[in-house]
Every structure is written in C-alpha cells, then in structure tokens.
Amino acid sequence: MLDDVISILMNPFFIKAFIGIFISALVAGNIGPILTTRGISFLTAEVAHAVLGGAALGIFIRSFILSNVDPLIIALLFGILSGLIAAYLGEGGRGRFEAAIGMSLALSMAIAVLFLAIIPSEDIPLVWGYLLGDILFLSLNDIILLSTSTILILIISLLFNREFLYIAFDEDGAKAMGLNTRLYHYISVFISSLGIVVLTKALGSIIIYAILIVPPMMASMLTNSYTRIRVLSFLSVLIYGIIGLYISFLVNVAPSGLIALLLVSTYIIIRLRRG
C-alpha cells in the first residue's frame, strides 16, 4: 500500500503535475478573489475560450509561417488581448458589456473552428488539450512559461494590493479622490487574463470556473478578510488539486474533472449544511 503511494508520488508525471497544481493554486488564490470581489467573473469564460482560438491560431502559425513559435505564447497573447478588449468594450455599461462578451466568445470559437480545419490533423489534439488541460503532459517549456507568468501575477497583485482593494471597495469614491481607477482596472484585467490562460493550459477551459470562482466563494463563507480569502482559496485549490491528481493516477480519469467535481461538491455540501 505504502509502496503504491510512494511509486505514484515519485512518478515523473506526478511531480510535473504537482508543479502545475501548485502554480494553479497560486494563480487561483490571487485572481479568483479579484474576479469575485470586483464582479468581473465573466472574464473567466471569455478568456478561456479565447485561449482555444489562440492555441489553434498558434498551431497554424507554427505549421505554416514560423516553425519555431510556441503555440502557448500565441494562446497567451490572444487570451490577454481578448480580456483587455472585453474590458474596453465594457466601459460603455453593463448591457454593452454582456453583448460584447457574447460576441467575442463566438469570435474566438469561430477562429478555433476555422484553424482546426486548416492545421495538420495530428496537431488537432493539442487544441483540444486546452479543453481538459495538460496537467500530466506539461513540457519543461510550458512549466517555465507558466511559472514566469505566475511570478508576474504574484508581483503585480502584491504591488497593487491596496489599489485593487480600493477599486473593489468603492470605485466612484476612489476616482473622485484622484486614483486612476481606469489604469488599475486594466492592470487587474491584465493579470486576471494572464492567470486564466495559465489555468486553461494547466487544467482546461471547461473547469476553470470551478477553480477560480468556487474557492473564494467558499472562503468568503468563513471569513471576509481579503488576505484570508486569498490564502484559503490557494489552500483549497492546492489540497483538492493533490487529491484529484492522486485519484486520477489510481482510476485513470482526467485530474481536472476530478478537482472540479470535488470543489463543487464541497461547496454544495457547505451550502446545504448552512441552509
């Protein structure tokens, strides 16, 4: 029994996946609370879909234009760009925002479908990898790129912690007092989009909502301190991530699905028990 556990833990796939989970937990712990407290959680779906389109575009570029381009970089840039465009279009007001999100979601998927038809058929699974995530198959390059993005997210969210708090608490007031709320809004959208791309690569676009939104919602039932919400979100993604990963090695199921299932069912149980 113990030997089995150790052999799973020492498995190189598991070790790389563990790094992926750790990165995901750091990202989710920082980005999730920003998205939920600012009421911009729809960015999640928007950027996650853009990543699919971006990945297909990236593979197209690698196959036909520049053979040394990493499709992940194209997916990353595409995701960030779509997040920033959504934020820009959203400045006109709530209704315009939702219409804009709907359109750019459709546009991203249309781009994905278009390039899926053009790219070499053996590369198609690479795009679908973004649906369920590549946590077990992260390359060294992927890990370097994801870690660098994560460090950038951590630095920015620590540096502008106070500013993000201000615009989440009272955007009108902050603006009236002279804070450049627009700038910090865009910075928060930028790191959120970057984080969503990282999570899409690692765990897939399908479960990203569960990873980003459920932990801060669970945490906010226990505490309303911003710092504690972030720490608890980090811990819950980390712990559930490791459990999900471990079970996936035993029963051969995609880990991201298990992690989402565990997170959402815990949330439902807590809600039911609280009435």
Partner 1 sequence: MDRDIIIRGLNIVLDGYRVLEDVSIDIRGNELTVILGPNGAGKTTLIKAILGLVKPSSGSIKVFGYDPFKEGEKIRKLIGYLPQLEKYSYEIAIPSIEVVLMGLMASRRFPRIPSKDDVRKALECLGRAGVRDIAYKPFNELSGGQRQRVLLARALVKEPRYIILDEPFTGVDVRGQREIIECLIDLKDDIGILMILHDIAPIAEHIDNLILLNRRVIAWGPPIEVLTPENLKRAYGTEIPIIIQENICYPLLGDRHA
Q: Which is nearer to partner 1, 73 or 156 (CB)?
A: 156
Q: Which token pair is 264?
A: 């959402």
Q: Which is nearer to partner 1, 216 or 255 (CB)?
A: 216
Q: Which is nearer to partner 1, 174 or 260 (CB)?
A: 174
Q: Which is nearer to partner 1, 183 or 239 (CB)?
A: 183
Q: From 23, 17, 30, select the one nearest 227 (Cα to Cα).
A: 30
**Nearest distance, CB of residue 174 and partner 1, angstroms:** 5
Q: Is residue 140 packed enough to be buried (19+ CB in 10 Å), middle (13-18) or exposed (0-12)?
A: exposed
Residue 122 gets which letter from DSSP? G
Identity of the residue numbered 47: V
d(CA 35, CA 260): 18
* 3-class SS of residue 253: coil
Identity of the residue numbered 214: V
Q: From 153, 126, 115, select the one nearest 29 (Cα to Cα).
A: 153
**Nearest distance, CB of residue 237 and partner 1, angstroms:** 20
Residue at token pair 């959120």: 192
C-beta of residue 24 within 8 angstroms of C-beta of residue 211: yes
d(CA 196, CA 130): 12
**Nearest distance, CB of residue 3 and partner 1, angstroms:** 47
Q: Which is nearer to partner 1, 192 or 200 (CB)?
A: 192
- Contact residues: partner 1, CB under 8 A: 36-37, 93, 159-160, 162-163, 165-166, 168-170, 172-179, 220, 223-226, 229
Q: Which token pair is 237?
A: 């993604």
Identity of the residue numbered 73: I
**Nearest distance, CB of residue 86 and partner 1, angstroms:** 20
**Nearest distance, CB of residue 14 and partner 1, angstroms:** 36
**Nearest distance, CB of residue 102 and partner 1, angstroms:** 20
Q: Which is nearer to partner 1, 18 or 184 (CB)?
A: 184
C-beta of residue 68 within 8 angstroms of C-beta of residue 170: no
Q: Which is nearer to partner 1, 24 or 220 (CB)?
A: 220
**Nearest distance, CB of residue 178 and partner 1, angstroms:** 4
Residue at token pair 């920003």: 34
